[in-house]
Amino acid sequence: MSRNDGAEGDLELWNYFSRRSPRLRRKRAVLVYRVPLSWSGPKLPWKLLHAGLTLAAFILIVLGLVAVFEYHNKQGIANMYSLHSWLGLGAVLLFSCQWAMGFASFLLPWAPTWFRALYKPIHVFFGSAIIPLVVAACISGINEKLFFKLTSTTTPYSQLPAEAWFANILGMLILVFGLLVLFALAMPVWKRPDVNSQDTQEPLLQEDK
Ligand code: HEM
């Protein structure tokens, strides 16, 4: 395998990790509390599932980021020059803060109840805010790929070749998916009925007692 093949492999990894799996996992993860099955019985397993799925998404994002930085460095391409990379890194930083704050507030036992109650609406707001940021990063990434790959040596993008149809439809589907997730999060009837109950505000590690 040539050096360049390795770099292409890194880019494929980035495409897989960044554009597919974490995005879907993240959206499934934020909807965990909207599944009616989670409304009855103990909340602990659902909180652990929510934290676990978002952690899995975070690990895949980090692997994807390592792959894309390695690819850029091997190809001599500047890092972080595009709007897509700014949106993507912004989403990753926000996601990291969200996870760290969620973990420290809702999982560890030392966060006081008043703090958890204060932080919860902020957590829910930023959990939703990450979604449009991720959608924007995905769509700008797809656009970049179209501009870079569909040049004059292939059928140009402006002539709407089959690849452009595929990528445009993919972008539209990502947008619709993001809007559906935001809609599901905004619907009060799909909230867990005891959303402000005492056990929501108790740290996870105390719920077992
Ligand atoms: C980056 C990672 C995370 C994202 C994007 C995220 C996103 C969200 C969203 C959108 C909601 C609102 C769900 C709804 O209204 O149905 C939520 C609620 C919540 N999250 Fe997270 N979250 C993350 C990490 C965590 C972590 C690590 C914990 C720690 C256990 C946590 C604990 C909670 C709790 C306790 C709620 C409130 C559930 C309820 O309504 O009773 N989150 N999160």
Distance in Å, CA 94 to ligand 1 centroid: 14
pLDDT by residue for the chain (209 residues), tens only, comes to 333 444 555 555 556 555 554 555 555 577 787 777 777 777 788 889 999 999 999 999 999 999 999 999 999 999 999 999 999 999 999 999 999 999 999 988 888 999 999 999 999 999 999 999 999 999 999 999 999 988 878 889 999 999 999 999 999 999 999 999 999 999 988 887 765 555 555 555 554 33
Cα(30) to centroid(ligand 1), Å: 6
CB of 14 sitting under 6 A from ligand 1: no
- Letter for the amino acid at 103? F
Which of ligand 1's atoms lies nearest the C-alpha of 200? 41
pTM of the entire predicted model: 0.82
Helices (H) and strands (E) in the chain, counts: 8, 0
The torsion of the CA quartet 50, 194, 179, 139, rounded to 10 degrees, works out to -20
Q: How far is the CA of 32 from the centre of ligand 1 (A)?
A: 9
38 lines ligand 1 (CB under 6 A): no
d(CA 201, CA 57): 25
